[in-house]
Amino acid sequence: MSVQDYLDKHMLSRKIEDAVNAAVRAKTADPVLFISNHMRKAVPSAITKVKARQILDSRGIPTVEVDLYTNKGMFRASAPSGAPSVMYGAIELRDGDKATYLGNGVSKAVKNINEKISEAIVGMDPILQNQIDQAMIDLDKTEKKGELGANAILAVSIAACRAGAAEKEVPLYKHIADLSGGGNHVLPVPAFTLISGGKHAGNNLALREIMILPVGAQTFEEAMQMGSETYHHLKAVIAEKYGPHGCNVVEDGGLAPDITSFREGLDLVMEAIGRTGYTNKLKIAIDVAATDFCIGSKYDLDFKSPKKSGQNFKSGEEMIEIYKELCKDYPIVSIEDPFDKEDWEQVKFFSGLRICQVVGDGLLMSNPKRIERAIQENACDALLLKVNQLGTVTEAIEVVKMAKDAKWGVVISQRSGETDDSFLADLSVGLATGQIKAGAPCRGERLAKYNQLIRIEEEIGEQASYVGENWRHS
């Protein structure tokens, strides 16, 4: 085949001429680069290859990583992981072979991507997120994604979302905003974990997390400074009172001094806040995770103390009085999972008091049916969104819309098993959630999200808006 025949067969002469004319009109100083970019835009948008592998998350437990290829390049994503929620959430597919990674391997999920999902989505336009996600849901054919694995589907969904943004030549958060039909790019208030307890820590504190919210900051970067300084002041406070061993760091970066009561932890945080000079700019949030210590209809506040367990039971009514007193004595503005995940009556009553934001995590498990019920029954007024409990970007967008339509707050949340994937940062800005919970200002996999938010704020520039005091209604 001659050169001319080749040019004619692929209509290259016309395409090259169009590119040269465009370069002339643009009066570009670098015509070669301009023409190259112009020609790249003429290449059809399509997924060309999907390759998955098993990697380890921040806990040293396997998870799924995906490389998705288009004509624009390679786009990588990995699936976060947490405690299984098979009752209401999407199902992570694990190998179950106790001889390998104690049964936690994900080679089956990886194989499903490389052999089944890849075949189903290669050739699809990465811009069409909904169609890609639906193709995987249809291929799985189960309600909870137990056939292919939610970990497999989610990693592909996030990678495709990145590819779609690249195809449109827009930032990831902008692409997510477009997918959701929104356009209000606001930087969220971070809920920094300072003290950890519950099942996440080896101390005797029943509640899972004490967090601070820098609502008085003017920018996200300033919020990061406040969080970091308070965290380090807290380390000093704890070291003074309990010795260096009290500064042990747990999975999400929180500190775990050997304390037993809610007030003991809150007093430590208040002392640290006092040392920062940010007293009027920081609020407190707590994640009680009460399901962890609910026995029947009672709550065992000493469930982690073998010698005391069973001696400090509280009824739902008594827990409400505890929360009311805590909110009166401390600047607490948000309480997550104050009751067991099935204790609908108590959480409805407490939420109705309007003392603070009531966040549904275990209560909702990001499940649309549970969210709908909670909306109808006024059981809480904020959604904690964990994308791996759903399995696709599209479904995450849909439940955030449900929550916002109900005038709820939305908290984009980490999992205990994270990677250096920063997708949650772009998701929080793209969906304008107003709140993000990504752990302490410590540990690389947590800071990957926070640092990405700093970059996004810088990229948006003067138009960047930190939600601050409006964290509930972004």
314/295 Cα distance (integer angstroms): 10
274 φ/ψ angles, rounded to the nearest 5 degrees: -60, -35
407/323 Cα distance (integer angstroms): 23
Q: Please give the structure tokens belonging to residue 194.
A: 């300072």
Residue type, 253: G
Catalytic, 108? Answer no
Catalytic, 252? Answer yes
The answer to whether 267 and 273 have CB atoms below 8 angstroms apart is no
Q: What is the DSSP string of 389-453?
A: GT-SHHHHHHHHHHHHHTT-EEEEE--SB--S--HHHHHHHHTT-EEEEEE-S-SHHHHHHHHHH
The answer to whether 81 and 445 have CB atoms below 8 angstroms apart is no
Q: Indicate which residue of 133, 252, 287, 340 is catalytic.
A: 252
Q: Indicate which residue of 144, 235, 341, 386 is catalytic.
A: 386
What value, to the nearest 5°, has the Cα angle with vertex 240 and ends 235 and 241? 100
149/114 Cα distance (integer angstroms): 13
Size (the chain), residues: 474
Query: Which amino acids are annotated catalytic?
Result: 252, 386
